[in-house]
Amino acid sequence: MANRSGNRMVVEGAIAAGCRFFSGYPITPASEIYQLMTERLPQRGDVAIGAPDEITALCYAVGASLRGFKAMTATSGPGWCLMIETVQYAIMTETPVVIALVQRLGPSTGGATQGAQGDILLAEFASSGGYTIPVFCPSNPLECYELTVHAFNWAEKLRTPVILLSDKEVGMTSESIDLSELGPLPVAEREKFDPSKRPDPQAFLPYFFAQSEDVPAFSPLGAGYKVTITGSAHNKLGQLKKNDPATLELLAHLQKKIDRHRAEIALAKADLEPGAEALVISFGITARAAREAARMARERRQKVSLLQLLTLFPVPEREITRCLDGSRRVIVAEENLTGQYRGLIRHLLGDREVIGVNKIGGMITPREILSAAIPMNSKRAAHFSGGKQTYGNDRSGA
């Protein structure tokens, strides 16, 4: 058993998932993933490349994936900006690829060594058209491992980019992990085109689907079938066709194939207390404070329910609404100013009191969550504590 950071466990997860290609450009706090992938992959005969910039880093990973290799990159907010053009190319070309996005304080170059949960919207809404990009969000090294495997699996199954949304605290905090005890997680592969299943194997269509929500079978570049690849709107052959119904259907299919698997993609951990007035929703590093807040509450015989979201997108609506029963108050704790995720789920929360616990420049503390969940113990005014600013708890609802 040894101490392993979240970043390191992302690497272990990637390798367990069958990642064979990594390209990246170093950036704090994601550099450890870059460094370890660069060490580990070549030892296995696989390839890790330092790219000249982030644009190229994701382009390389997309290229490797199109050749049939599971591929990944890792970056932080400032680098992610430069990848947005290419992540759309991956969406349009239905290319599986995993991006580990280790958040730091923004905007712009912001604070390289300060954690944050501020890239939720920047990550998810990276496409012209608003196509859903699956986003998984770990809170500790073990979840880094598991969710990285999930990220690869869903990237492959749905032929789509997937984001592993970590942050500086999760990525750089080490915990004792026994690699040998990690349960073997199922590993998925993209469906390969099988000529024996098709009446006319010559008629390979690189973007064929029978139903809009199906995922096309894949044939790698160079494997004998003609694969046309373009970031422009195209039909099932890959041909550019303007305002063609088949082309528009294909664009809709890009969203429908994700939507269809919404329920399976949704991962969450609930710790519900019968009769609890308050439900705390959290994710990532903040989920750790939430767990501690609940423990403290229970010590005082106060009831607080917890919902930790491991999947942020597609929004796990059912998991959220299921946990609402009886709660009159919902706390959404996230390390950003504006309550990014709270804004997206507020319509699911009905007329409950919704309280955002938000802060930047430091981790949200269990006490801050607790005082929002059990308000009689709290003034709930904006305050400075320990050099960190609490931006103010936003209260809305009936």
Subset of 58-87 contacting its own copies (CB under 8 A): 59, 63, 77-78, 80-82, 84-85
Which is it for strands 384-385 and 388-390: parallel, antiparallel or unpaired? antiparallel
Whole-number minimum distance, CB 375 to its own copies, in Å? 22
Looking at residues 336 to 365 of the shown chain, list those that interact with its own copies (rule: CB under 8 A).
336-338, 340, 343-344, 346-347, 349, 360-362
What tokens does 112 get? Answer: 């390289």
3-state secondary structure of 186: coil
Helix (H) or strand (E) holding 42: helix 31-43
Residue from 69, 204, 208, 391 in contact with its own copies (CB under 8 A): 391
Q: Kindly provide the b/e burial profile for residues 201-222, where b requires at least 16 CB atoms within 10 angstroms of the residue's own CB.
A: eeebbbbebeeeeebbbbbbee
Which one-letter DSSP state was computed for residue 184? P
Residue from 65, 103, 282, 371 in contact with its own copies (CB under 8 A): 103
Nearer to its own copies, 12 or 124 (CB): 124
**How many Cβ atoms sit within 10 Å of the Cβ of residue 42?**
12
3-state secondary structure of 190: coil
Nearest Cα neighbor of 257 from 186, 185, 161 is 161
Residue from 120, 276, 307, 357 in contact with its own copies (CB under 8 A): 120
Nearest Cα neighbor of 282 from 265, 316, 307 is 307
Nearest Cα neighbor of 171 from 130, 89, 112, 255 is 112
Q: Does 121 bind its own copies (CB under 8 A)?
A: yes
Q: Does 99 bind its own copies (CB under 8 A)?
A: no
Nearer to its own copies, 203 or 252 (CB): 252
Q: Does 215 bind its own copies (CB under 8 A)?
A: no
Q: Does 224 bind its own copies (CB under 8 A)?
A: no
Q: Does 221 bind its own copies (CB under 8 A)?
A: no
Whole-number minimum distance, CB 354 to its own copies, in Å? 9
Nearer to its own copies, 349 or 373 (CB): 349
Whole-number minimum distance, CB 273 to its own copies, in Å? 26
Nearer to its own copies, 281 or 360 (CB): 360
